[in-house]
Structure formats: structure tokens, C-alpha cells
């Protein structure tokens, strides 16, 4: 698995904080530094540009759902029905995050996917059906990565 794919879930969790990162910039989560790969950075920028996000201040709650959908699509995190592919998401998570963070993150992310994944309508061009999942994942990020 390529490093850009391994970091995709980290990108999704950190969406509100890393939109304007530069290549090689470190993302901080608790005491762990996670480097954003060039490939990951390019996918992030592609989705940000597609949804009118040029900086952190542009990442408003109304843009998070379509941005999240874009990341899921670019990283092959959806199944053949257009729903989040839980196994792919959790596999990437397992490869992407430090061992010390896996337990809580896996449990919380699984709950988000179980509670909100089936509610996604792949034909929803406005991405509104992504809102509950995107916000759940964002809240997981805020809880897991809050400064100690």
C-alpha cells in the first residue's frame, strides 16, 4: 500500500486542520507527528480545489460533507454500492496510525461507520447524506487528537 493511501484516513480525520499544509508539513495528533506525503497532499488539494477550499477558513461545515465524499472516492474507500467500505477504511487506519492510537480510533471510527455509513446516498450530489458521517469523524478527530 502506498504511503498516500495509508494516510488517507488521517487526512479525513484532520480535514479542518490541514487544508493549507505544504508538502512535508507535519500533522500533530497528541504527541505523534504524521507526515503528509506528496501524493496525499495532492489528493487533498484536488478535493479542496474542487470544493472551493483555499484555506482553513474556507473549510466551513457546509463544505465538509462533499470534501469528505471526494476523499473517500479518491482513496477507494467506497464499495460498489457507493457506501463507505468499512474494511478498507479500517485497513488503512491500521496501517496509518501509531499503535498507541489504534484502539480508541478504531472503536470510534467503527461506530461512526456503523451509525452513519448506511445513510449515505451515492446519488446525493449535494453530499448532504455525508454530513452525519463526516461530522462524526470530525468529532472523533477532535476527541482523539485534543492536546493533552
- pLDDT, tens digit, 9 for 90 and up, residues 12-61: 444 434 443 444 455 666 666 665 567 767 778 899 899 998 877 887 88
Whether the Cβ atoms of residue 137 and residue 68 lie closer than 8 Å to each other: yes
Kindly state the cell numbers that stand for 39: 501524493
Residues 52-110: tens digit of each pLDDT: 988 778 878 888 889 889 988 888 889 999 999 999 888 877 766 777 777 888 899 99
Report pTM: 0.74
Residues 111-120: tens digit of each pLDDT: 999 999 999 9
pLDDT at position 111 is 95
pLDDT at position 148 is 67
pLDDT at position 115 is 97
Distance CA 145, CA 27 (A): 10
Selected residue with higher pLDDT from 14 and 143: 143
**Element at 32 (helix H, strand E):** strand 32-35
pLDDT at position 37 is 63
Number of Cα atoms under 13 Å in the Cβ half of residue 116: 18
Domains of the chain in sequence order: 3-144 (1.10.238.20)
Amino acid at each position: 500500500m502506498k504511503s498516500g493511501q495509508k494516510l488517507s484516513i488521517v487526512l479525513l480525520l484532520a480535514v479542518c486542520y490541514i487544508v493549507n499544509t505544504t508538502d512535508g508539513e507535519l500533522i500533530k495528533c497528541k504527541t505523534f507527528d504524521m507526515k503528509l506525503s506528496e501524493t496525499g497532499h495532492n489528493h487533498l488539494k484536488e478535493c479542496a480545489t474542487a470544493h472551493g477550499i483555499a484555506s482553513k477558513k474556507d473549510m466551513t461545515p457546509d463544505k465538509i460533507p462533499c470534501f469528505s465524499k471526494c476523499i473517500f472516492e479518491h482513496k477507494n474507500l467506497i464499495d460498489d454500492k457507493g457506501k463507505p467500505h468499512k474494511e478498507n477504511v479500517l485497513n488503512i487506519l491500521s496501517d496509518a496510525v501509531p499503535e498507541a492510537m489504534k484502539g480508541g480510533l478504531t472503536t470510534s471510527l467503527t461506530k461512526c461507520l456503523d451509525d452513519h455509513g448506511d445513510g449515505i446516498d451515492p446519488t446525493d450530489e449535494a453530499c448532504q447524506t455525508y454530513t452525519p458521517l463526516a461530522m462524526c469523524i470530525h468529532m472523533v478527530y477532535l476527541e482523539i487528537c485534543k492536546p493533552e
